[in-house]
């Protein structure tokens, strides 16, 4: 396997550190618009890693880099606005593709997350190529949990609800998101999507249906609200349930900041003219905040991603479980030198690449993680030294 990793930010750099300990691939080319950042990501990890420069907004540039290095698998680790050029570039080069966030939605035209990719599924199938989409932690591991619950734990599912929460703090900052603010704004301010068997997909207001969810391993109760996320668009395609939701533990302060950004128009992506220069307000916000990849030494606490499932167990009795994955920032910094949120996101596509390299996972077309057998993934994730857990509720 010869991998092109596009993006040497927090998640991409963490993926390099994780993959460096595994032997399933021959070469990993780490490409970024900033060649210095790509060089820093691969430094000290051995000669299987090669740094390169790429314009992620250009499908032709991605295709050319794939052909230059005889790439078999492209892993997209950049903001979702670049999904389609990387997706198309990989296809043109005859490579398989993985990402951790799907193509963007457009609420005003009814375009859902991932629609642009699923529209090309027949072409990928006809070419015998695989696009495995949404294989980070959320979406990704959360979708694997949903499939595992359907296969092993339930005879009938009423609701699958992805629930994400943390007790992370960042020393020295009043406001410092632990993940890409560009992506966070996109998913939190767009209308959240809910799926119900009788209604299909529909949207609600941002931050709707607040609930207090109790997270394991000392994190405790966190208020969670509806957020637009890929799982709601992916899970119903392969897993039978009456309802699918995604709720994120943002906290009052974070929600107020996001609402203020929206009120001021600072969440906009279209450029505005400032003193003769065209700038995107959202890019200005991102540039004004600390890089999440640099916050690890200042972070304290744990992050939890998981899938809550309610329905009937195999015995026909009511059952409710929470399948989860917790990463302690102290552990991820000590073991890998990367903060918990980006490490937790990065480990899952590396696990998926290994399953594909060994032939344990295979497929063609545009697939979500729940389309593939869950147990090999969960077993290998534990083998990476990061076990998952389950609570009966």
Q: Per residue in 254-279, pLDDT tens?
A: 888 888 999 999 999 899 998 899 99
Q: What is the mean pLDDT of the chain?
A: 95
- Segment 144-154 shows an average pLDDT of 98
Confidence bin at 355 (pLDDT 50/70/90) = very high
Q: If you ran DSSP here, which 8-state letter would residue 360 be given?
A: S
* Whether 54 contacts 29, CB under 8 Å: no
pLDDT given at position 380: 98
* Whether 110 contacts 388, CB under 8 Å: no
Taking the C-alpha atoms of residue 352 and residue 372, their distance in angstroms, rounded to an integer, is 10
Bridge partner residues of 35 (DSSP): none
- Between 138-152, 233-247, 289-303, 306-320, the lowest mean confidence (pLDDT) is in 289-303
- Using the predicted structure, report yes or no on whether residue 151 has a pLDDT greater than 80: yes
Residue 253: exposed, middle, or buried by beta-carbon count in 10 A (0-12, 13-18, 19+)?
Answer: exposed
Q: Do strands 156-166 and 243-248 pair parallel, antiparallel, or not at all (unpaired)?
A: parallel
Share of the chain above pLDDT 70, in %: 100
Q: How far is CA 190 from CA 83, 119, 144, 173, 268, in A?
A: 18, 22, 25, 26, 12
pLDDT given at position 38: 98
- Segment 103-131 shows an average pLDDT of 95
pLDDT digits (tens, 9 = 90+) for 91-101: 999 999 999 99
Question: Helix, strand, or coil here: 386?
Answer: coil
- Using the predicted structure, report yes or no on whether residue 174 has a pLDDT greater than 80: no
Taking the C-alpha atoms of residue 42 and residue 25, their distance in angstroms, rounded to an integer, is 15
Q: Which two tokens stand for residue 33?
A: 């618009």
What angle do helix axes 340-357 and 329-336 make, rounded to 10 degrees?
60
pLDDT digits (tens, 9 = 90+) for 15-53: 999 999 999 999 999 999 999 999 999 999 999 999 999
Confidence bin at 317 (pLDDT 50/70/90) = very high
pLDDT given at position 175: 82
pLDDT given at position 107: 80
Q: Which two tokens stand for residue 283?
A: 């890019």
- Between 88-92, 247-251, 329-333, 358-362, the lowest mean confidence (pLDDT) is in 247-251
- Using the predicted structure, report yes or no on whether residue 173 has a pLDDT greater than 90: no
Bridge partner residues of 328 (DSSP): 302
* Whether 341 contacts 331, CB under 8 Å: no
pLDDT given at position 198: 96
- Using the predicted structure, report yes or no on whether residue 341 has a pLDDT greater than 90: yes
pTM value is: 0.93
CB atoms within 10 A of CB 141: 30
pLDDT digits (tens, 9 = 90+) for 185-221: 888 888 999 999 999 999 999 999 999 999 999 999 9
Taking the C-alpha atoms of residue 236 and residue 68, their distance in angstroms, rounded to an integer, is 39
pLDDT given at position 340: 95
Confidence bin at 13 (pLDDT 50/70/90) = very high
Contacts made by residues 265-273, CB under 8 angstroms, sequence distance 24+ = 267/185, 267/189, 269/81
Domains and CATH numbers, the chain: 2-99 (3.40.50.720), 141-340 (3.30.360.10)
Q: How far is CA 159 from the centre of its chain?
A: 21
- Using the predicted structure, report yes or no on whether residue 179 has a pLDDT greater than 80: no
Confidence bin at 128 (pLDDT 50/70/90) = very high
- The candidate with the shortest Cα–Cα distance to 168, out of 332, 5, 300, 78, is 300
Give every strand in the sheet of 130-132, ordered side by side.
49-53, 27-32, 2-6, 73-76, 96-99, 130-132, 365-367
């Amino acid at each position: 396997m010869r991998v092109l990793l596009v993006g040497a930010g927090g998640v991409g750099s963490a993926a390099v550190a994780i993959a460096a300990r595994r032997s399933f691939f021959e070469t990993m080319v780490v490409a970024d618009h900033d060649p210095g950042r790509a060089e820093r990501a691969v430094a000290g990890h051995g000669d299987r890693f090669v740094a390169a420069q790429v314009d992620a907004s250009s499908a032709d540039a991605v295709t050319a880099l794939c052909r230059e290095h005889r790439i078999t698998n492209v892993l997209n680790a950049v903001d979702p606005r670049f999904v389609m050029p990387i997706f198309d570039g990989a296809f043109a080069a005859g490579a398989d593709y993985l990402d951790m966030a799907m193509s963007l939605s457009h609420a005003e035209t009814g375009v859902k997350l991932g629609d642009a990719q699923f529209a090309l599924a027949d072409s990928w199938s006809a070419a015998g190529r695989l696009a495995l989409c949404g294989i980070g932690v959320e979406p990704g591991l959360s979708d694997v949990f949903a499939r595992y619950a359907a296969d092993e734990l339930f005879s009938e599912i009423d609701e699958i609800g992805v629930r994400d929460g943390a007790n992370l703090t960042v020393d020295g900052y009043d406001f410092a998101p632990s993940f890409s603010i560009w992506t966070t704004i996109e998913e939190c301010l767009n209308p959240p999507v809910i799926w119900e068997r009788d209604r299909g997909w529909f949207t609600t207001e941002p931050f709707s249906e607040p609930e207090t969810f109790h997270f394991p391993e000392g994190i405790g109760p966190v208020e969670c609200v509806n957020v637009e996320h890929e799982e709601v668009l992916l899970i119903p395609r392969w897993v039978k349930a009456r309802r699918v939701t995604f709720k994120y533990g943002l906290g009052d302060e974070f929600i107020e900041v996001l609402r203020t950004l929206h009120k001021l128009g600072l969440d906009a992506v279209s450029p505005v003219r400032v003193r003769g220069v065209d700038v995107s307000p959202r890019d200005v916000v991102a540039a004004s905040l600390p890089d999440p990849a640099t916050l690890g030494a200042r972070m304290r606490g744990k992050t939890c991603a998981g899938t809550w499932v309610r329905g009937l167990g195999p015995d026909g009795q009511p059952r409710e479980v929470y399948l989860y994955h917790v990463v302690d920032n102290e552990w991820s910094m000590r073991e890998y030198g990367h903060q918990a949120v980006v490490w937790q996101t990065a480990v899952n596509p590396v696990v998926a690449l290994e399953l594909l390299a060994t032939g344990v996972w295979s497929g063609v077309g545009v697939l979500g993680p729940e389309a593939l057998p869950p147990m090999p993934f969960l077993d290998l994730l534990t083998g990476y030294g990061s076990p998952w857990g389950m609570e009966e509720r």
